[in-house]
Amino acid sequence: MAPAAFDAHGTLGALSVGVLISCFLFGIVTVQAYIYYTRFPEDQFKWKFLVTFVWFFELAHCISICHSLYYLTINQYGNPKALIKPPHTLFLAIVFSGVIGPVVQAFFAERVRVVSGKLIIPIICWTLSAVRLGMSAAAAGEAFQMTSLSSFQKEFKWLLTTVLAVGCAVDVLVAGALCYYLNQQKSNSHERTAIMIDKIIAWTVQTGLMTSLTGLVMLIFFVAMPGNFIWLCFFMFLARMFSNSLLASLNARTILRQTNFVELQHPSQGSATYASNTRYHPSQTVSVRMTKLTEVTGDSKGDITDAV
């Protein structure tokens, strides 16, 4: 890259911003992992292993991108030509990110199976996630052998765009399926359970949007602006969006399973009714009591809070 054509803001600047955001989000991942282990010590081993697995891969990813930034800004200070072929640690980050995304998507596909009791959509999601994993591994393998970043982008543009497009498709499919099946259960649920389902649907849409929008924005910049590193900025923290959504889903079970409702009780009555179904009469004395309700379904499909 000639010095006259060097754009520090669009290359090293974008890379630095992405690494800073990624490190910040890794701190949130670590805090969420700590909260998970303190709140759910009796959780199934497979979920504990999943959290540990994702956290260590996030740590490795964070170390890789930090080394890449240090190499380009310190070791190769004043040498824009170093951007022609980035360090191998940046390509190693592709491996870690390529594993984290599909693993988390497989987790949410399992949630679809629990809620729906059906295998069609989960199998589609698992298959697409496996395809994404394989294509990410292929992209990483080719990256290690490339001679320049620009030639790699031109030659394997189809591969990178397919990986990102498949990832977005799985996110949208999982979020849509969860919302659909949860809404079906809502029609046959009590009022307090319906409130919890509404919260789960809202959180499902939010987590699905976070990962799919990040991947979509990265894809747009990769296609529209291949000559700079803005798309790499989003790549730096794309994996963090997946891991944070996973841990937020696991940790949110405590909040969703315990909901406070206000009960209005007349002294002469032995039973209480919910405030939403009770009319207040000024001539009567009414006592207010807070009740904490634990929501557990008896459906064979599993606890509905597992859908988060």
Q: DSSP readout, 90-125? A: HHHHHHHHHHHHHHHHHHHHHHHHHHH--SHHHHHH
Q: How far apart are CA 143 and CA 154, in angstroms?
A: 12
Q: How far apart are CA 147 and CA 151, in angstroms?
A: 7
Under the banding of pLDDT at 50, 70 and 90, the label for residue 58 is: very high
Per-residue model confidence (pLDDT) at position 225: 86
Task: Specify the pTM.
Answer: 0.78
Quick: pLDDT tens for 199-238.
666 666 666 678 888 888 998 998 888 888 899 899 999 9
Identify how many contiguous H helices and E strands the chain contains and give both numbers.
9, 3
Q: Look at residue 102 and tell me whether its pLDDT is greater than 90.
A: yes
161 close to 222: Cβ distance less than 8 angstroms: yes
Please, what is the end-to-end C-alpha distance for the chain in angstroms? 47
From residue 58, how far is each of 14, 197, 218 by CA, in Å? Answer: 20, 31, 19
> Within a 13 Å sphere around the CA of 77, how many CA atoms are in the beta-carbon half?
3
Looking at residue 284, the DSSP 8-state letter turns out to be S
Under the banding of pLDDT at 50, 70 and 90, the label for residue 190 is: low
* From 137-141, 227-231, 275-279, the region with the lowest mean pLDDT: 275-279
Beta bridge partners of 289: 263
Per-residue model confidence (pLDDT) at position 187: 65
Q: What is the mean pLDDT of residues 10-30?
A: 93
Per-residue model confidence (pLDDT) at position 193: 63
Under the banding of pLDDT at 50, 70 and 90, the label for residue 32 is: very high
* From 17-31, 74-88, 119-133, 188-202, the region with the lowest mean pLDDT: 188-202
The better pLDDT of the pair 260, 166 is held by 166
Q: What is the mean pLDDT of residues 26-38?
A: 95
Q: Look at residue 17 and tell me whether its pLDDT is greater than 60.
A: yes
Q: Look at residue 54 and tell me whether its pLDDT is greater than 80.
A: yes
Q: And the tokens for 97?
A: 């990110």
Q: And the tokens for 241?
A: 């969006």
Q: Look at residue 61 and tell me whether its pLDDT is greater than 70.
A: yes
* 192 membership: H or E segment, kind and range: helix 191-224
219 close to 165: Cβ distance less than 8 angstroms: yes
Q: Look at residue 285 and tell me whether its pLDDT is greater than 50.
A: no
Per-residue model confidence (pLDDT) at position 189: 60
Closest alpha carbon to 5 in 87, 84, 72: 84
Beta bridge partners of 292: 260
Q: How far apart are CA 138 and CA 163, in angstroms?
A: 10
